[in-house]
Amino acid sequence: MVNFEDTGLLRARNSSLKMLIRSAYGVQADQIIGGPKWLDSNGYDIDAKTGFLLRPSQANGSQIHSSRGAGHNQISVVRIGIHQFAGMLGKTLDRIVHDNTGLIGSYDFTLTWDPDGASASVPSLFAALQEQMGLRLESGKAIMDVLVVDSAEKASEN
C-alpha cells in the first residue's frame, strides 16, 4: 500500500521497491526492466514528508482567477495541470518556463507573491513557488522547437 495524503505525507506499508517505483513514475510493472531480484519481493514501511504542497483537484471544471493589489499579486486556480501553469508563469516572467516536474493530473492552489520583491511580509515569486507549492524554478538551457517565418506578405484588400 502506498498512500499520498493531502497533508504532504507519504505512507507506504510492506511495499516493494518495484511498487514504489510504479507509484512514483505512474508506470505498470511490465514497464520496469532490470534491477536486482529483491526489487519485487522485499517489503518496506515508509513514513515521509514530501516537499509537494499541491492538492489534486476534485473539481469538474477549470477556473483561473488573478488579482493585483498593493504590493502583491495572487492567482487562484482550480483544476489546472502543471504544464498549463508553467505556460502561465512564462507569460508572467516573459520567459519560457519548461515543466520538468513530471507531475500529471490537475491541481487546485492559490499563489500569492510580491511582484517587486520589496515586501517583508509577501514573498517574491520564486520564494512563493517554493514555500506555497513546493516547486522550484531553475534557470537553464534547453533544446526547443521554434517556428521560422521565411517570408510574409501583407494582405491586400478584397
Confirm if 88 and 133 have CB atoms less than 8 A apart: no
Domain spans of the chain, in order of start: 2-49, 56-133
Could you tell me the end-to-end alpha-carbon distance of the chain, in angstroms, rounded to an integer? 67
What is the C-alpha to C-alpha distance for residues 78 and 54, in angstroms, rounded to an integer? 11
Give one DSSP letter per residue of 22-50, joined into a string: HHHHT--GGG-----GGGGT--EEEEEE-
Whole-prediction pTM value? 0.63
Distance of CA 19 to the CA centre of its chain: 23
* DSSP conformation class of 3: E
What is the C-alpha to C-alpha distance for residues 6 and 121, in angstroms, rounded to an integer? 26
What is the C-alpha to C-alpha distance for residues 8 and 51, in angstroms, rounded to an integer? 7
* DSSP conformation class of 94: T
Quote the pLDDT of residue 78.
95
Quote the pLDDT of residue 90.
92
What is the C-alpha to C-alpha distance for residues 128 and 80, in angstroms, rounded to an integer? 18
Per-residue pLDDT of the chain (158 residues; tens, 9 = 90+): 777 676 667 888 999 999 888 887 778 888 999 989 899 888 899 998 767 678 889 999 999 999 998 889 999 999 999 999 999 999 999 999 998 888 888 999 999 999 988 888 999 999 999 999 989 999 888 888 888 989 989 888 87
- pLDDT digits 0-9 by tens, 78-88: 999 999 999 99
Quote the pLDDT of residue 119.
86
